[in-house]
């Protein structure tokens, strides 16, 4: 099979401008597209059955069978393959030392209606999460514990930002993801089985001594403020993670991972 690659050497090329614009949230939303970079991450996507609409390759990349597989998958799906300079890849990715493989993907579904709560006994729910690194880490935690997915409640960081996608290490392609406001999430949650467990300092229940029912929805609050009082009131159970030092709380993504593994231990 002969694969066609379009050479691009000019910064003013419309395809370069369009890909570069996807680093900004307003353009991602308008185009319903996002960027992902790196051979490992794009291979994770391909193995999950998700192929980029456009594949950007560096001119001086090293030969690799996984790159060949990506090219074939993009060509088979009718996508476009560009071959360009390191400087242009740097302009698109925003990194001084860019990866030699970059993809433009169509947005993934994020509706609550796409979730199957019977998929797993563990789910993570992040409320007003602001840090893309935390979001990416929570996606990786979901993948590690076999969680059903990650639900983003209220105004969270864009899960398809370059930083969040990078931090997910490919989990954004393998873990179901949903976005909703609090009221819609509660309606969806109460329409079926599910125990809502919140992490809070306003309780005496130690997370290790609590009983978790399946499916368990672990609600993690905002990095700075934690859960609002009205959200805590909606939880079926509030638990806290003991803090033996001077810090009053863990990083949000770390707290989610600690909780997820405790639930996994009980349900396993």
Q: Report how far apart the first and last C-alpha atoms of the chain are (Å, whole number).
A: 47
Token couple for 237: 């159970």
183 confidence band (pLDDT: 50, 70, 90):
very high
Give dist(CA 95, CA 110) in Å, integer.
28
> For residue range 62-112, what is the model confidence (pLDDT) as tens digits?
889 999 999 999 999 999 999 999 999 999 998 888 889 999 999 999 999
In this structure, are residues 70 and 37 in contact, taking their beta carbons and an 8 Å threshold? no
CATH architecture designation of domain 6-106: 2-Layer Sandwich (3.30)
> In which element (H, E) is residue 28 found?
helix 25-31
In this structure, are residues 204 and 176 in contact, taking their beta carbons and an 8 Å threshold? no
Residue 97 phi, psi (nearest 5): -120, 75
Q: What is the pTM of this model?
A: 0.93
Residues 235-258 have a mean pLDDT of 84
Domain regions of the chain by residue span: 6-106, 112-267
Residues 21-48 have a mean pLDDT of 96
Average pLDDT, the chain: 93
What topology is assigned to 112-267 in CATH?
A: Alpha/beta knot (3.40.1280)
Give dist(CA 12, CA 241) in Å, integer.
53
149 φ/ψ sector (left φ>0, alpha ψ -120 to 50, else beta): left
Place of tokens 């639930």: 263
The answer, yes or no, to whether residue 249 has pLDDT greater than 70, is: no
| Helix, strand, or coil (residue 90) | helix
225 confidence band (pLDDT: 50, 70, 90):
confident
Residues 52-69 have a mean pLDDT of 93
């Amino acid at each position: 099979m002969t694969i066609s690659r379009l050479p691009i050497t000019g910064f003013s090329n419309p395809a370069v401008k369009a890909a570069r614009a996807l680093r900004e949230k307003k353009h991602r939303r308008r185009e319903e597209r996002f960027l992902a970079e790196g051979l490992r991450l794009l291979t994770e996507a391909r193995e999950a059955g998700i192929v980029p609409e456009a594949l950007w390759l560096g001119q001086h990349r090293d030969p690799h069978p996984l790159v060949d597989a990506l090219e074939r998958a993009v060509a088979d799906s009718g996508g476009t393959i560009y071959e360009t300079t390191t400087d242009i890849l740097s302009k698109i990715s925003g990194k001084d030392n860019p990866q030699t493989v970059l993809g433009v993907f169509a947005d993934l579904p994020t509706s609550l209606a796409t979730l199957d709560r019977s998929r797993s006994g563990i789910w993570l729910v992040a409320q007003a999460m602001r840090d893309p690194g935390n979001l990416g880490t929570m996606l990786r935690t979901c993948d590690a514990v076999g969680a059903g997915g990650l639900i983003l409640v209220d105004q969270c960081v864009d899960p398809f930002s370059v930083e969040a996608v990078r931090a997910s290490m490919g989990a954004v392609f393998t873990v179901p993801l949903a976005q909703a406001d609090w009221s819609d999430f509660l309606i969806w949650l109460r329409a079926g089985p599910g125990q809502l467990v919140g992490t809070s300092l306003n309780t005496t229940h130690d997370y290790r001594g609590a009983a978790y029912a399946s499916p368990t929805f672990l609600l993690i609050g905002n990095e700075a403020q934690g859960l609002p009082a009205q959200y805590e009131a909606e939880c079926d159970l509030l638990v806290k993670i003991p803090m033996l030092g001077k810090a009053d709380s863990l990083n949000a993504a770390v707290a989610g991972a600690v909780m997820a593994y405790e639930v996994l231990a009980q349900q396993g």
